[in-house]
A = this chain, B = another copy of it.
Amino acid sequence: MTTTTQYPECCAKDNGDALGMNATATSPISVDGTPVAGELYTIPPRCGRAVKLKKGQVIKIINTPGSQVCDTWFFNSDDLSEFASMEHTRAFIDKIIPQPGDVLVTNQRRAIVTLLTDTSPGVHDTMIAACDLFRYSNMGITEYHDSCADNMRMALNAIGLRAREVPQPLNLWMNTPVNPDYTISWLPTVSAPGDYVEIRAERDCVAVMSACPQDIVPINGCSPKEIQFTVAG
């Protein structure tokens, strides 16, 4: 972990960013998504990044501001139609939120990554779809709004890949508790600045992260910020 990667000023100052102003599609960490071990990468506010992980490598995802949600996906490098599936993982680990030691399994119920470490209180989400244009349109936004779904697509495109769908993400640090009456609340994170998770690849995979641009419901404290990550091993 030596330097902070340079990145273009890419994210919106308000909700009215026109399509194409989010530079995720043109800001890969490298041509094919291969990381430099130990380098600290920054995902600017409202943007996404994809990174290739070899089996055994560990990615450390850092909630630098503490208040930021990071939508996270893991795709099998050899077949992007196989990916970490929250609905299969919940059935596999008998939990709605993974804890250190738990694996995430794919839609073929095979281990793809293991959550090794979590310095935060362990409040994450596996149940809420990535925000997308439909979400913001339903909320009355009439112009383009950055979204985790678009960030996922653009981050993959930036390293020459394409997935045929946007799976349910692992929403790191997202605080959307289920109440006894089955309702869901949308709350700010309970994580502290610098909290991180470490996740080990159990097979070659592509990790995609989006620093969630949601600025209408308060899951990011109404102020989307950056996420950082580094890869070891």
Contacts and interface: CB of A to CB of B under 8 A. Distances in A.
A179 B184 CA distance: 15
B128 A184 contact: no
A45 B178 CA distance: 33
Contacts of A184: 90-91, 94-96
Contact of A129 (B88, B94, B137, B138): B88
B164 A127 contact: no
A162 interface: no
A97 interface: yes
A109 B134 contact: yes
Contacts of A164: 164
A108 interface: yes
A85 B134 contact: no
- Size band of the interface chain A makes with B: 20 to 34
A109 B94 contact: no
Prevailing SS type, chain A contact patch: loop
Contacts of A110: 134
Residue of A86, A134, A137, A164 most packed against chain B (CB within 10 A): A134
A167 to B, nearest CB: 9
B129 A87 contact: yes
Given A87-B168, A129-B87, A129-B88, A96 B178 contact: yes
A94 B183 contact: yes
Nearest to A137: B109
Interface in A172-228: 178, 182-184, 186
A165 interface: yes
A91 to B, nearest CB: 5
Nearest to A132: B109
A55 interface: no
A164 B99 CA distance: 31
Residue of A91, A135, A168, A183 most packed against chain B (CB within 10 A): A91
A97 B182 contact: yes
Given A86-B87, A87-B129, 15 more contacts: A85-B129, A87-B127, A87-B128, A88-B129, A90-B128, A90-B184, A91-B129, A91-B135, A95-B183, A97-B182, A107-B129, A109-B135, A109-B137, A109-B138, A110-B134
